[in-house]
A and B are shown apart, each in its own frame.
Chain A
Amino acid sequence: SYVLTQPPSVSVAPGQTARITCGGNNIGSKSVHWYQQKPGQAPVLVVYDDSDRPSGIPERFSGSNSGNTATLTISRVEAGDEADYYCQVWDSSSDQWVFGGGTKLTVL
């Protein structure tokens, strides 16, 4: 089965840029989606199809995907960005959707 690997945690100071990676075999050939989840809340889609943003998501959230790594970039990080972030793809070979293990973003 297809595996997505995320770092367990990322820390960043307010106003700086946070980068959260998602590794997978030839992930660059897949569409990657990113979700933000705050404690006690349902996940929220923040980036889909590698780099598109749903309406209402700030431009500070952006994504890229190439080779074996996809990246969610959060610019000018705010305290309210502190949350868990999950990447997700569809593995066409098995017709299964897969989530990464999640990354806890801490704003120092």
Chain B
Amino acid sequence: QVQLVQSGAEVKKPGASVKVSCKASGYTFTGYYMHWVRQAPGQGLEWMGWINPNSGGTNYAQKFQGRVTMTRDTSISTAYMELSRLRSDDTAVYYCARVGVFGLVVVVAATYGLDVWGQGTTVTVSS
């Protein structure tokens, strides 16, 4: 079955970086955009960006430009999200999520939503 399995919880100090992994299985990893979304405690969902697993191309939310890096390793069907210069307000659950259509055309992908989600990775930033 199609699933996304994320790495375990992390505790980081302010100013550090965190790298979260998302291993895909059950489908062609390079055929679907992968997005990252986070959720601070008691708050709503916040879009962080996407990666094209085939080309490695990325598109980041303006809020995270310069602090986030999304990469992938196609040999192991895994996407990564690294966030640097962590602050206390980066404490959140981070999710990877797949777009629900095969094919890497931005306009088409935007009409399908995020149909498969990872279980979430809790990142705690505290001194």
Q: In the complex, A1→B112 CA distance in Å?
A: 21
Contact in complex: A102, B117 (CB < 8 Å): no
Hey, which chain B residues are within 8 Å of A101, CB to CB?
44
Contact in complex: B106, A42 (CB < 8 Å): no
In the complex, what residue of chain A is closest to B6 when comparing beta carbons? A42
Which listed residue (A33, A94, A98) contacts B114, Cβ 8 A? A33
Binary contact track A88-100/B, C-beta < 8 Å → 1, others 0: 1010101111111
Which listed residue (B37, B50, B113) contacts A45, Cβ 8 A? B113
Contact in complex: A31, B118 (CB < 8 Å): no
Q: Which residues of B approach A to under 8 Å, CB–CB? A: 35, 37, 44-47, 50, 59, 61-62, 95, 97, 100, 106-107, 110-115, 117-120
Q: Which residues of A approach B to under 8 Å, CB–CB? A: 1, 31, 33, 35, 37, 42-45, 48-49, 54, 84, 86, 88, 90, 92, 94-102
Of the A-B pairs whose beta carbons lie under 8 Å apart in the complex, a sample of 21, sorted by A's number, is: A31-B110, A33-B113, A35-B113, A42-B117, A43-B95, A45-B100, A45-B114, A48-B113, A54-B113, A84-B44, A88-B45, A88-B47, A88-B114, A90-B110, A94-B62, A95-B59, A96-B61, A97-B110, A100-B44, A102-B44, A102-B45
